[in-house]
Amino acid sequence: MKNTKYIIVIIDGAADNPVADLDNSTPLEAAHIPTLDWMAARGIMGSVHMIPEGMSPGSDVAIMSLLGYDPGKYYTGRAPIEAEAQELQLDPDDWVFRCNLVTIKNNIMKDHSAGNITSRKAETLIKLLNKDCPLPGVRFYPGVSYRNLMSLDHDITVQTVPPHDILEKDISDFLPKGQGGKDLRALIEWSATILARENNHDATHIWLWGQGKKPLLPSFFRRFSKKGAVITAVDLVRGLARLIGWDIIEVPGATGDFHTDYHGKGLAAIKAIEEYDIVCVHVEAPDEAGHKGDAHEKKQALEKIDKSIIKPILDALHHSAAQWSLLVLPDHPTPCVIRTHTADPVPFVLLDHTRTEPVASPVFSEKAAADRHLLINEGHTLIQKILQGWVSNH
């Protein structure tokens, strides 16, 4: 719709399964989220598959879908997307890997984030790795917290596994395999020696995964004639934004974890929508809580998002003279019991300026969304439907 303003709020990893600690409710069911419930009573609610069949259920695939790009056509790997966020000057033939700082004890993957290591400490460790690296053609790049990168200047055919998929498991069966796997395994083993010098009990090793080469995505503006921007603390989302030609709006207190500046993100979105046609706010906190298996923290994160991001945005839209549409959804589930992602459909709620009266029960949750019997199987088509005025016509 030509003059409509669009806001998307991604509550990363929020979808879940019933948790015993929450009286067999999901965090969404247990959370006090009156704004989302208000939207659910008035808007379109349903479920959407963001992960195409056969693809890994990560935020890279899911958010690419969410932004309107078919991962089956455009996806080349997670790490090159994050490299785009850092504006790394890489050759077209370079391979890029995600390089997590992790905690491995007695060969068990204990923590994919090295205790949510600070960006400053991580940068110090990455510099040490660059200084002493024994393998030619390798370079390490600091990112945000544990989320760092490594590039390799020669071809490689290797299979890797994300560290958050093997929490509390023996790493032996999940080390890099294939042509070049031996070199990567040697780097992981070597990193333990370097990191041990720093007496850092959390960052014990690097873990290499998510490899690929730079993808080519067509401009969002050329496809939809909409100028977009993203608000996030995560390089993956920044990278996707750059690849589709969106601007990145920085919020000083945004951290990519539970202690992020929720209120600051909400205010930034309200300000940005004056300039842009579409603004996407990404919040990582629920996903991090899911990886920790902490259902109570996930519940609290959802309550903070509802109160400090979604409510101020919705209030501002209601006072705006513009036509508008607001979409809220997770990108994928991160169930607390298994502490990793799944490819199950996620609930979404979509509201616009025309829908003011309740039309259904006021609950936003996985079950409530499934009960609406609206399932979108191809996630990349959702944003196309919204931009074509689907909510007003539904």
Each residue's pLDDT tens digit, 44-92:
999 999 999 999 999 999 999 999 999 999 999 999 999 999 899 888 8
pLDDT band at 2 (very low <50, low <70, confident <90, very high): low
Q: Which long-range contacts (CB under 8 A, 24 or more apart) does 293-300 make?
A: 293/336, 293/337, 293/339, 294/336, 295/16, 295/19, 295/21, 295/22, 295/27, 295/30, 295/336, 296/21, 296/22, 297/258, 298/14, 298/16, 298/27, 298/336, 299/22, 299/27, 299/30, 299/31, 300/31, 300/258
Fold exhibited by the domain 5-75+216-393 = Alkaline Phosphatase, subunit A (3.40.720)
Q: Which long-range contacts (CB under 8 A, 24 or more apart) does 267-272 make?
A: 267/312, 268/231, 269/7, 269/9, 269/231, 269/309, 269/313, 270/312, 270/313, 270/316, 272/229, 272/231
Going through the chain in order, the beta strands assigned E by DSSP cover: 5-11, 44-48, 95-105, 108-111, 138-144, 147-152, 157-159, 177-179, 205-212, 228-231, 247-249, 278-283, 324-329, 346-352, 375-376
Question: Domains of the chain: which residue ranges?
Answer: 5-75+216-393, 83-212
Reduce the DSSP state of residue 261 to 3 states and report it: coil
Reduce the DSSP state of residue 190 to 3 states and report it: helix
Confidence (pLDDT) at 124: 94
C-alpha R_g of the chain: 21
Q: Which long-range contacts (CB under 8 A, 24 or more apart) does 131-137 make?
A: 132/194, 133/187, 134/186, 134/190, 135/183, 135/186, 135/187
pLDDT band at 198 (very low <50, low <70, confident <90, very high): confident
| Proportion of the chain above pLDDT 90, given as a percent | 87
Mean pLDDT over 377-391 rounds to 92
pLDDT at 333 over 90: yes
Confidence (pLDDT) at 207: 98
Confidence (pLDDT) at 76: 92
Confidence (pLDDT) at 158: 95
Mean pLDDT over 245-263 rounds to 95
pLDDT at 199 over 90: no
